[in-house]
Structure 1
Amino acid sequence: DDSRDLDQLTVGERLPNAVLRLQVAIADVDALVVQGSAVDRHAACNTTSIYTAGGVFPMLPERLSTDLTSLNPECDRLALVVTMDIDGGGSIGATDIRRARVRNHAKLAYPSIGAWLEGTPAPTALARVPGLEDQLRLQDEATTRLRERRQDLGALDLDTGEARAVVRDGKVVDLLPTERNRAMELIADAMIATNGVVARFLAQHRLPSIRRVVRRPDRWDRIVELARGLGSRLPAEPDGRALEAFLRERRSADPLHFPDLSLSVVKLIGKGEYVLELPGKGTGHFGLAVRDYAHSTAPNRRYPDLITHRLVKAALAGHPMPYSDEDLAGIAAHCTEQEDNATKVERRMRKSAAALFLRPRIGESFDAVVTGASEKGTWVRTLRPAVEGKVMRGDEGLDVGDRVRVRLMSVDVERGFIDFSAAR
């Protein structure tokens, strides 16, 4: 794995009565980035790191995010450690949060560990640390419990299959789908659970917090229509459990086209945002089927996580809150705006790379799915390769989720424009 800003470590332990204990250590960035300092103001302006095929633009100076505040191998680092006990049904029982000094004994890569968890030979990195294979198997068991429990509650199992540019010697040589594997799921499920534990900790202490929320779907009626077109029925009102059951059914029935359905559902549900939550109130996260959710596991690259750490540390120490409600509301709004801006930059870079890759194929036709339809225009994503562009001609009557044959009309690499016409 080429990640250099390492935010988390994970450790598992088997307890009596089929309980599994999972500990997640998160880099204590706040220990070196003092509130109100020049570096903190710099991070507060950026609010997020930006990742593109051409390079990474970090929220924090690299001396911090890839070294002093990164949980690098064989280095002692300060951290917040979140502990949770998981029963056989995937429910979280006892929890704990405390400050600690931790040491990373191995940096592993998603592709090789994911393949190993699925049955391929163990990578050499596993053999270097005694007991690491058993440790990862235990963590996989624990996070599988967590994932299955969330799915039972209606968490959505989505896989958009977004393409990434392969760049060699400054040239885009391929566009490959980002494939999710079991190692990625392990870490994602551990982080989702950790964010929930942290959010509940702040709520139990009657403290305000910045929550990550996804409200009720913007266009549930269109999701119902998509399901009907595939021979399934969804209730008239938003229902996470029913939607998850439908998605599971479609993943099994048509895995080839499941990423396209996933992308349509993601667009129709709507985007996430950061909001101030006061004690006793809550919006929740529709896609994750959780009520309490606060980003806390990536303070090297997300400013809301750093804010959350400061709130948690103040509560642990019995100190006054470092932010007023007004401060938190303003930070939440700014972080949402900057996240939107960062997403646009990352999307623009992906589109420019895709335009460069597709330039020799102008005039060719592709199968595609409609990913956006509004007064501003209609957008599609081709199936192979997975590239998004705008339909400039023949888009009348198209809506999100529709299948369509399109012809590549033109590209503009500098502006990231990829223009299609729809074949009727």
Structure 2
Amino acid sequence: MDAPDLAQIAADEMRANGLEPVFPPEVLREAEHLAQDGAERSGDIRDLRGRQWFSIDNDDTLDLDQLSWAEALPDGSVRLAVAVADVDALVRRGGSVDTHAAANTTSVYTATGVFPMLPPLLSNDRTSLHEGEERLAVVVDMNVDREGSVTDAQLYRAAVRNHAKLAYDSVAAWLEMQAPPPAAIAGNAALQAQLRVHDQVARSMRRWRQQRGALNVMTSQARPVFDKGELVDLRADRKNRAKDLIADIMIATNGTTARFLAQHGQPSLRRVLEEPRRWDRLVQLAAQHGAILPVAPDALALDRFLTARRAAEPSGFEDLSLAVVKLLGSGAYVAAPPDAPPAGHFGLAVNDYAHSTAPNRRFVDLVTQRLLKATLAQQAMPYSIAELDVIAQHCTIQEDKASTVERRVLKAAAAYLLHDRIGDRFDAIVTGATPKGTFVRITAPMVEGRMVRGFEGRDVGDAVRVKLLGVDIEQRFIDFGSV
């Protein structure tokens, strides 16, 4: 079988799901003009270029959205600052670039590559926090006490410079004392100290959230592996200590952003997940492991169950985590007026959570940045609550569609990898059980498929042994039957 044209498949899936895979000519022309004109620099901008900022992301990431810096204080607390790329300084509201971003609302990450929300000339260059380059940023400057609680914060605009572009895997290996420091910090004691303070404060913030019900799960995503340009595998891209570090810091930043807007009497866009979609099945899943969960959703009880299972059976914890995440369901964006009651995120154990740290990749974050900058400048809000409500609904829909695109392109890639393995048997876990069908995930390659035989009575979280019955690249089908 010839290798499929995954790039064309991905573009077709984008269009079929109401997403535009190609930047119109007027968007590219405007991006060139914006890049030439440079960022808008009016207002109060602090010069923090000399501070030891750094980034941690994937090795090949070009659209860098955040830098961070930390300082241990004498009383045991930590001052933690996160600098978010000031994308709004170049991307003006209402322009062609902004209109395209508002339509797609997100970058889409497929097995064949990325469909960026903003033209690469901006997101991968002029609005990216590249190492060694001066950039404008919106800084969220927090004080974190010994227990991991953010006790105070201030926001401001600043000029910053990335002093080290670091990667998750090499940082994690160094923090876990399995490798020497990454080359970018090998001779820089100050940056090494920065990373250790970050690791310390991230862990304290994670403990603080877990004491309030944040779920201690371990999941991974499929990562395409290419050899000489040909897709050869889909492997698990697992969490590690550096990924956890960044995730914990971003959670704190996003919560601080939401509270800042509320405290200044301004509306915001919130990400919410109020209750699990299928708590009844979570109760059943716990009972299969000899544990009891209460009838009503209880994050602390669920996390205690997960922690116990991780200790008792570490080898099966990732599959259990996947089942729990699927049963929790996905979150949604909502527009919140300034006097709105707190809207929680069940899985993160935080209230008032606003996405704000990835304006190169998510339109919601760009909108939030505009709200923050207007508040700092004491200007009128750039969006009404009615406009924010429309944006929230549209972004929720488009992110779900982007997930569908990513899943279907991945399935086409996996169908190609599995086309000569019809009849092979795999260990799997049930990841979906709805009237539309029952779905399972295998791990080598890591992909989901539909269970078309022997699925009766199966539910999310069940471990099953399956046989590959057939694949169809064009239809994005991978069919399994029970053994």
TM-score, normalised by the number of residues in structure 1: 0.98
Cα RMSD of the aligned pairs, angstroms, is 1.1
C-alpha distance in 2 between matches for 1:390 and 1:270: 19
3-state DSSP of counterpart to 2:438: strand
- Measured after TM superposition, the shift of residue 401 of structure 1 is 1.1
The one-letter code of the counterpart of 1:355 is A
C-alpha distance in 1 between matches for 2:230 and 2:286: 41
C-alpha distance in 1 between matches for 2:407 and 2:313: 27
Residue matched to 2:83: 25
Residue matched to 2:9: none
1:83 is the counterpart of 2:83 = no
**Count, aligned residues:** 423
Q: Is the 8 A contact 1:164 1:350 kept in 2?
A: no
- Measured after TM superposition, the shift of residue 3 of structure 1 is 0.3
The one-letter code of the counterpart of 1:123 is P
Write out per-residue CA displacement over residues 198-256 of structure 1, whole angstroms, 9 at most, x where no aligned residue.
00001111211110111201110100100010111111110111111111111222222
- Measured after TM superposition, the shift of residue 125 of structure 1 is 1.8
The one-letter code of the counterpart of 2:253 is T
Query: Where does 1:1-400 land on structure 2 (aligned, <5 Å)?
Result: 1-120=59-178, 121-278=180-337, 279-400=339-460
Q: Is the 8 A contact 2:68 2:81 kept in 1?
A: yes
Write out per-residue CA displacement over residues 28-60 of structure 1, whole angstroms, 9 at most, x where no aligned residue.
000001111111111101100011221111000
- The more displaced of 352-361 and 217-226 is 352-361
3-state DSSP of counterpart to 1:318: coil
C-alpha distance in 1 between matches for 2:414 and 2:216: 27
- Measured after TM superposition, the shift of residue 159 of structure 1 is 1.8
C-alpha distance in 1 between matches for 2:257 and 2:313: 37
3-state DSSP of counterpart to 2:344: coil
Q: Specify every segment of 5 or more residues in structure 2 that has no aligned partner in the other structure, as ranges.
A: 1-58
3-state DSSP of counterpart to 1:107: strand
C-alpha distance in 2 between matches for 1:56 and 1:215: 31
C-alpha distance in 1 between matches for 2:220 and 2:64: 24
Write out per-residue CA displacement over residues 244-270 of structure 1, whole angstroms, 9 at most, x where no aligned residue.
111111122222221111111111111
The one-letter code of the counterpart of 2:418 is L
- The more displaced of 171-180 and 302-311 is 171-180
- Measured after TM superposition, the shift of residue 173 of structure 1 is 1.2
Q: Is the 8 A contact 2:215 2:347 kept in 1?
A: yes
Write out per-residue CA displacement over residues 77-115 of structure 1, whole angstroms, 9 at most, x where no aligned residue.
000000111111111111010000000011011110011
The one-letter code of the counterpart of 1:415 is Q
The sequence identity of aligned pairs, in percent, is: 57
3-state DSSP of counterpart to 1:346: helix
C-alpha distance in 1 between matches for 2:60 and 2:146: 35
Q: Is the 8 A contact 2:226 2:232 kept in 1?
A: yes
Q: Specify every segment of 5 or more residues in structure 1 that has no aligned partner in the other structure, as ranges.
A: none
Q: Is the 8 A contact 2:234 2:444 kept in 1?
A: no
C-alpha distance in 1 between matches for 2:324 and 2:189: 43
- Measured after TM superposition, the shift of residue 130 of structure 1 is 4.4
3-state DSSP of counterpart to 1:265: helix
3-state DSSP of counterpart to 2:224: strand
C-alpha distance in 2 between matches for 1:352 and 1:115: 33
Q: Is the 8 A contact 2:224 2:234 kept in 1?
A: yes
Write out per-residue CA displacement over residues 268-290 of structure 1, whole angstroms, 9 at most, x where no aligned residue.
11111111112232321000001
- Measured after TM superposition, the shift of residue 383 of structure 1 is 4.1
C-alpha distance in 2 between matches for 1:257 and 1:142: 29
C-alpha distance in 2 between matches for 1:107 and 1:344: 31
The one-letter code of the counterpart of 1:343 is S
Q: Is the 8 A contact 2:166 2:182 kept in 1?
A: no
C-alpha distance in 1 between matches for 2:196 and 2:347: 27
C-alpha distance in 1 between matches for 2:475 and 2:139: 44
C-alpha distance in 2 between matches for 1:171 and 1:253: 40
C-alpha distance in 1 between matches for 2:116 and 2:327: 30
